[in-house]
Amino acid sequence: MSTKTPDQQNIILDKILVERRSHRQFKQEFPPEEDIRGIIRAGLYAPFAAAAVGGTEDYFRRFFVLKNGSKSMTAAASLIFEKAAVMASTLEQTMEEDPQLRIQASGFANRLAMIKKMGQVPGVGTAPYFIVVAERKGFPPVEQQALAHVLENMWLKATALGLGFQLVSITAQMEENPAFCILLGISPGEWALIGCAVGYPAKELPPSIRPPIDEVTRWLE
């Protein structure tokens, strides 16, 4: 049982919530494996859709840790970049045929174009660790919502440990990719995926700016 009072715990939690940021530049130094295990443990305790997957015989959540410089990281980086390049080309062609989509997707298209120019997907091979989280698909299909809870827990734990954290959202597009799934040791299409990069941040980021609560909140009677 915690020896801290509720007020003390609340202060600590508020501090972590405010300090949580997206880091995209990392030092080469590897954090201790125990810290990575702690981040995974936090993700393991995230909520899940019991009605959708609770009846499966084996556990419905998996974590895969890829270390920078390893064969698995090199393979994953190549496969994910290839996917990003295909997505960029497909979106570009579709936008030419659909003016409305061109307006809506221009920001994302620019992001994909930048990745193609860089020759790598940020977060995959640019940080000491790339962690892939898998949630078994069920019914109703709420696995991505469950993964969002997992990543938030992991993100907050990384922040508490003084580590940088970057969401690698394109990982979700790899769930049907046979080569990527074989790399992880799972069956294509059976699991929803998401990924993140973890390491010591290369620089301190300024505080996150949010609007006053009263500007975005309406109390209903």
Q: Which of residues 126 and 57 earns the better pLDDT score?
A: 126
**CB-based burial, 40-68: b 16+ in 10 Å, e otherwise:** bebbeebebbeebbeeeeeebbbbbbbeb
The pLDDT, as a whole number, for residue 48 is 82
Confidence of residue 113 (pLDDT cuts 50, 70, 90): confident
Confidence of residue 97 (pLDDT cuts 50, 70, 90): confident
* C-alpha span between 127 and 209 (Å, rounded): 25
pLDDT, mean of residues 186-197: 96
In percent, the amount of the chain with pLDDT more than 90 equals 68
Of 27-41, 108-122, 153-167, 195-209, the least confident: 108-122
The pLDDT, as a whole number, for residue 56 is 56
* C-alpha span between 105 and 119 (Å, rounded): 21
Domains, the chain, ordered by start: 23-76+121-199 (3.40.109.10)
pTM: 0.90
pLDDT tens, 135-154? 999 888 889 999 999 999 99
pLDDT, mean of residues 46-75: 85
- Residues forming beta bridges with residue 61, ordered by sequence position: 135
